[in-house]
Structure 1
């Protein structure tokens, strides 16, 4: 049996569901860039639920910028894969079939441009990680030394990066008299729609000021906040899929029951009924975004580096240590004081939910996975809350503790997977007993000026380092 015959079977177990719509009638309407586990367990699931509720032209063209492996797997499985939801109540699997085409941009960049140029494409979504945007941490604009940005400025008609593809697609739509597509960022960037808008406009301005003016007048860049814990798949994931489905699913992923998507309702040419899957449309996403980035993601960064220092492989292992749970709770208490009111959210309940989610014994979320690219994550997860806490005259020790944990974990491992790894490792190679964190704070753009100049808080970082 294949994934295709499985999805049409009427003999599925009770804990396995299949698409309830006619997949043959799906038409491309969304291009998604970044065919990773998170997209497969989040936006694709929401889109399938939307189509099941209100069928429409919202098939997803799944694009991976570089790696062909998930693209080949999706092609071999005819666009089908399973999402396994794990909890104390048992495992259940949903077969997802909303993808209608699959492309590796490094091999078929022209096909990506063709989809982006088509008037049938109404929305472009993407989950490519913070480092892929080519965002200059100092200026907040394009990093002209970023490999993808540099390549796309030199060869704009054959882009390799996400911003380059967006701009080239918009160029061709304008030439053909089509409206722009709505650009919907689904990555953990503060005010992510505004960030991507600035990057797109900056690159467009370099190419043609009239193009930038057209995008400014006609384009839409809604902000969104996404939330679901999706660990990287393992051999155990694949074996679990075989047990549930009776077939080998190379793209099977495991996740938690909780999922959340807050979206600014600002689209050019319509959208799926994502609210059918529980998405919330809001006038302003920023309060939800700040809550999630600082409470969930910030706590994840704390947990990840605690785990690395204490040789605890998974988040659940860290959360099994009462002393570490208490540190997470104290961190959350400090974060809450920096948050704006969040419509419809009971913050004490939300915090309890997070602690329960982190401790979920069925979810194997590796601390090393969360620790990847920490330099790109610190500003929105830790540093912005630190600045606000100090400006308000409150105690910021918990944030100093997170920075100390990060520094110690680098020193322990001696390596790290981070786009600023060389600079960070150079700082780690020299120890100054009088100011242990000085070289990290001297890395250009890594810490904001108000924290570089906050001598008393930097002394707290050094004090926490000494304790560790």
Structure 2
């Protein structure tokens, strides 16, 4: 017998499921959030729920928003349960469930006027984002905003009817400026380097295309704090829904399963105030750069390191990849030989301790994170998580054999079959292009590195071209397993 999640049933939840310690009717909207997915509901929403449980911050509740048709399905699932979410934290020997109530509304994705009206509401003092790496219109090669993207050009030509998140933000800011209402802070919670600067570049860059005065006003009046976010949060499947029902007696349309670990390091730069999140574990710092570089290179680079060889070896779950000595060994060797040496010192942090923590988190057998999820969207992720590390090694005149092998595994994965011959279903927004290029690279490895928008100068480096070509040829000749065996033996 399960209890259907809803406001009416909060007092009927099983005793082992924690419910909000505050009354939902006491909450008032203060944050509008674009991108209501699993990570947001396991991270920002949990921190806010913790704050509300202390009795404070009740005027900082969340309102969800989106721009894509596909987001309506998630909204419908949450609407059926009054915007509540069950969050299950688990690792070996630890599994707890809680219901969070930090979100009090979710605007219909694509209903532009309703979203702009809410953005113009003085009560909304922060607009936050988890729109994934691909949502920022970044040119992968340069790392900067691409003003020539068709969606951006469309918004610039018709700013009163925006279709992008940046266009909606600008429309809301225009209304606030014209009404002499203090602008909101724009706070990215996405896992990208310098996410505040990247968001600022996008919003201001779009404004420059149609109203330079507006661009200058935004630059002078709107805060875009940088932040580092971290929590491993896989996608929800029937597996998670069934575990929640069987182990905790809760029927939730869209629960979130995640690891117990979470981290949020944030620059204290806000236009119109902020919730007192330091009371619930958020680190406010003058400069988030050292923390985000550490995380992006060691954790996200580590994810990429294990993802593609594991995918080629038909390994399904991330913890299973870590149980494979060759994959675990590849991660340890590449991290210690090539990745960690590019990470500058981080305040109050031992990099080796941080790496050991990452190893334990990747090995968590309870999360159910999939190798396929780690392999997703390489065309956007590799330029952020791997290629800058290659560039740093090349600049220092250091070796890149392991990083070249990681790139070779990615290329081989994009060919579209595993070493056993199983078909890899499309797993990148640019899959057709990536697959075609990977197939050309089988005979001519330089074809892969010629993707200028992804590799840039790295793809023209003779040292990297040589290392990548040798690695890719080896992967094709002997397969991922034997290639890793040779690499770990120092014979690649």
| Residue number among 454, 457, 461 corresponding to 1:454 in the alignment | 461
Equivalent position SS for 1:409 = helix
Aligned partner of 2:420 in structure 1 is none
Aligned partner of 1:425 in structure 2 is 435
| Residue number among 279, 289, 292 corresponding to 1:289 in the alignment | 292
Residues 458, 246 of structure 1: alpha-carbon distance in 2 compared, 3 angstrom cutoff: same
- Residue deviations 1:209-248, cap 9 Å, x none? 2211111111100000110000101101111222344331
Larger CA deviation: 413-422 vs 206-215 = 413-422
Aligned partner of 1:9 in structure 2 is 11
Structure-1-length-normalised TM-score = 0.95
8 Å CA contact 2:310, 2:327 repeated in 1: no
- Aligned: 1:463 with 2:454: no
Aligned partner of 2:367 in structure 1 is 363
- Residue deviations 1:85-131, cap 9 Å, x none? 1112232111010111112322x222111111111100011111111
Aligned partner of 1:73 in structure 2 is 77
- Residue deviations 1:156-197, cap 9 Å, x none? 122221111111111111111112110111112211101111
Where does the alignment leave 5 or more consecutive residues of structure 1 unmatched?
A: none
Shift of 1:136: 2.3
| Residue number among 441, 444, 450 corresponding to 2:449 in the alignment | 441
Aligned partner of 1:376 in structure 2 is 380
Q: Distance in 1 between matches of 2:321 and 2:141?
A: 34
| Residue number among 226, 230, 235 corresponding to 1:232 in the alignment | 235
Equivalent position SS for 2:33 = strand
Where does the alignment leave 5 or more consecutive residues of structure 2 unmatched?
A: 418-423, 476-492
Q: Distance in 1 between matches of 2:92 and 2:222?
A: 45
8 Å CA contact 1:182, 1:219 repeated in 2: yes
Aligned partner of 1:125 in structure 2 is 128
Aligned partner of 2:63 in structure 1 is 61
Pairwise CA RMSD: 1.7
- Aligned: 1:411 with 2:415: yes
Shift of 1:317: 1.0
8 Å CA contact 1:51, 1:272 repeated in 2: no
- Residue deviations 1:314-363, cap 9 Å, x none? 11111001121111011211211111211121211111111011111111
Q: Distance in 1 between matches of 2:13 and 2:108?
A: 34
Q: Distance in 2 between matches of 1:157 and 1:141?
A: 25
Residues 225, 119 of structure 1: alpha-carbon distance in 2 compared, 3 angstrom cutoff: same
Aligned partner of 2:21 in structure 1 is 20
Aligned residues: 463
Q: Distance in 2 between matches of 1:145 and 1:335?
A: 33
| Residue number among 380, 389, 399 corresponding to 1:395 in the alignment | 399
Shift of 1:7: 5.8
8 Å CA contact 2:170, 2:203 repeated in 1: yes
Shift of 1:71: 0.6
8 Å CA contact 1:331, 1:399 repeated in 2: yes
Residues 268, 7 of structure 1: alpha-carbon distance in 2 compared, 3 angstrom cutoff: farther
- Residue deviations 1:277-324, cap 9 Å, x none? 311111111111011111111110111111210000111111001121
Q: Distance in 2 between matches of 1:286 and 1:111?
A: 36
Q: Distance in 2 between matches of 1:424 and 1:101?
A: 39
1:256-335 to 2 correspondences below 5 Å: 256-333=259-336, 334-335=338-339
- Residue deviations 1:407-437, cap 9 Å, x none? 111124366332333332221232464xx32
Shift of 1:275: 2.0
Structure-2-length-normalised TM-score = 0.90
Equivalent position SS for 1:111 = helix
Q: Distance in 1 between matches of 2:406 and 2:133?
A: 20
Larger CA deviation: 241-250 vs 353-362 = 241-250
1:95-134 to 2 correspondences below 5 Å: 95-106=99-110, 108-134=111-137
Aligned partner of 2:174 in structure 1 is 171
8 Å CA contact 2:189, 2:228 repeated in 1: yes
